Amino acid sequence: MFIVQPFVKETGIRSILGFMSLATKWGDYLFPGITVLTRDLHDVKAMHEVAVQMEVAEVPPRRAEFQRHDTDRKIAGHLSRDLKREGVNIASGELIQRMSYWQRYGSLIDHFDILSDRRPRSIDSYRKMIFEKSFGPGKDIPEVRKRRIRHFKWYRNNRAKLMDEPKQMGTWFRGEQGAWRRWWLTGLNPPAKVPKSVWLVRELEFFLVVWQTLFEASVLLLSNSGKVNSRVARTSRPLEKFLEVLLNLRLEFSPEDCRHLISLGLRLHEDYISPRLDRWERDVSDLMGVENSIDRFTTLHNGRSLTTLGARESMGLLEALAELHVRYCELQNKNHVISVHSFKDRVLGSRLPVLSSEFTSTHWGLFSYRLQASLTLWESHKYQDWRRR
C-alpha cells in the first residue's frame, strides 16, 4: 500500500539564528521556480500526468482535490510506470513520501503554470521548459527566466572547481585552484564573468558562516567552562586558521580550540566583514534597482539590517547574536530549543548547538547547497541508484 508519512514539524530548529530564511529569499532570486525540494523531473512528469487525468485544467475547482495527500497514491502509480519504461523497477508502494508531492513541487508547478497545460511532456521537454531560452510557459517572464538560466549555466560550468573537505590546509588556498576556493569561501576577488548576484551571495554566506560559527562556538565554550571569550585574535592568516580550527572542532571538541576559533571569528568579523557591509548593501541596491525593495534581502527577522549587526564588536556582537537567536526561537514558538539567553550575563538555555558549517563539494558553508539544487533538478538522478538493485 502506498503511504504518505505524516509530515511532522521538527521539535528542533535547523537555522538557530534564522539565517536560512534570508538565504531562501536569495535562493528564490537566483533560481526562480526552483527550491531545494524540487529534485527530479520524473516526479514533475507523474504529477502532470495525474493532473491531466483529473482534468484539472478543464475543471479548475479540481485543483484543490489534486493538491490533497490522497492524490499521491495516483502520482506514485504513474511514476512507477514511467520509471519502468526507463529500466528502473520500483513498485508504487515503495515510493513512500515524508511530504506530499505537492509540498515538494508546488512552487515549481505554480511558477510554470503546468496545471494549465492539457498534455504531459517528456522529461527532456520539462528540462527545456526550465533551463532553455526557447521555452517560456506560465508565469516565467523573460527577465526572470534569463536570470535563472544564467546562474544555472555559470554554476554548472564551474561546479567541478569545488573539491571535498580540505585535508591539508597548508596547500588549500595555493595556486589557481586555491584562489578559486578562497573567493568561493569569502566572496573576495571573484574571477571574471561571475554573475554579480552570485558574487553577492558568496559574500553573504561568508558573513553568515562567521557569525553563526561564532555563536555556536561561544555557546559550547560557555557550557563547558562557564566563561565567554571576547578576545580578538592578533595573528597572520586568520582565514586559514579559522577554517582549520573549525574542521578540527567538528571532529573532536576542545575548549582551547573553541576559544581559538572564537577569537579568529571575531578577527574575521572586524577585518573581513564589518568594513564591507555598507558597500555590500549598496551593491545589492544597485542590483535590485529602485523598483525593488532590498529590505527582504538585507534585513534579519528582528527587523534590523545586516549592517547594524556588523557594526557591533566583540561582546556586543555576541550579545546581539544571542538576542537574534532568542527572537527566532520565539517566532518559531520553540522556546525549548533556546541555547543561550545572554552571553553577557552567562545565561544558558536548554539545548546546545553543534557546529553547522560544512565544507564539502556540495555545501561550502551554510546554505550554498541551494546553488546545487538547480543542477540536481537538471540532472534528475534521484532514482538512478535503483538501477543498481
Identify the pLDDT of residue 112: 93
Evaluate whether 147 touches 32 at the Cβ level (below 8 Å): yes
- Cell (9 digits) for 181: 576556493
Strand 340-342, strand 347-348: pairing: antiparallel
- Cell (9 digits) for 280: 555590500
- Name residue 114's amino acid: I
* Span of 3-7, 32-36, 188-192, 194-198 with lowest mean pLDDT: 3-7
Considering the chain, what percentage of its residues have pLDDT values greater than 70?
A: 92
pLDDT at 184 over 80: yes
Identify the pLDDT of residue 365: 76
The mean pLDDT value for 263-285 works out to 96
pLDDT at 102 over 70: yes
Evaluate whether 84 touches 19 at the Cβ level (below 8 Å): no
The mean pLDDT value for 212-216 works out to 96
pLDDT band at 48 (very low <50, low <70, confident <90, very high): very high
Give the residue among 128, 8, 103, 1 at the shortest CA–CA distance from 47.
Answer: 103
Question: How far is the first Cα of the chain from the last one, in angstroms, to the nearest whole number?
Answer: 21
The mean pLDDT value for 29-42 works out to 93
Considering the chain, what percentage of its residues have pLDDT values greater than 90?
A: 68
CA dihedral (148, 152, 155, 158) positive or negative: negative
Three-state DSSP class for 129?
A: helix
- Cell (9 digits) for 83: 520509471
State pLDDT tens for residues 344-375.
Answer: 999 999 999 999 988 777 677 777 778 889 99
pTM: 0.90
pLDDT at 186 over 80: yes
Where do runs of H (alpha helix) occur along 33-139? 41-53, 62-66, 72-85, 101-111, 123-131
The mean pLDDT value for 56-72 works out to 92
State pLDDT tens for residues 87-101.
Answer: 899 998 888 778 899
Identify the pLDDT of residue 167: 61
Evaluate whether 178 touches 162 at the Cβ level (below 8 Å): no
Q: Tell me which of 3 and 260 has the higher pLDDT.
A: 260
Give the residue among 310, 356, 364 at the shortest CA–CA distance from 202.
Answer: 364
Identify the pLDDT of residue 287: 93
Task: Report the C-alpha gap between 34 and 370 in whole angstroms.
Answer: 9
What torsion do the CA atoms of 212, 213, 216, 220 make, to the nearest 10 degrees?
-170
pLDDT at 203 over 80: yes
Query: How many Cβ atoms from other residues are within 10 Å of residue 195's Cβ?
Result: 17
The mean pLDDT value for 261-265 works out to 97
pLDDT band at 165 (very low <50, low <70, confident <90, very high): low
pLDDT at 162 over 80: no
Identify the pLDDT of residue 170: 66
Angle between helices 41-53 and 72-85 (to 10 degrees): 120
CA dihedral (224, 230, 233, 234) positive or negative: negative
pLDDT at 331 over 70: yes
Task: Report the C-alpha gap between 132 and 124 in whole angstroms.
Answer: 11
Give me the chain's average pLDDT, please. 89
Which residues partner with 365 through β-bridges?
358
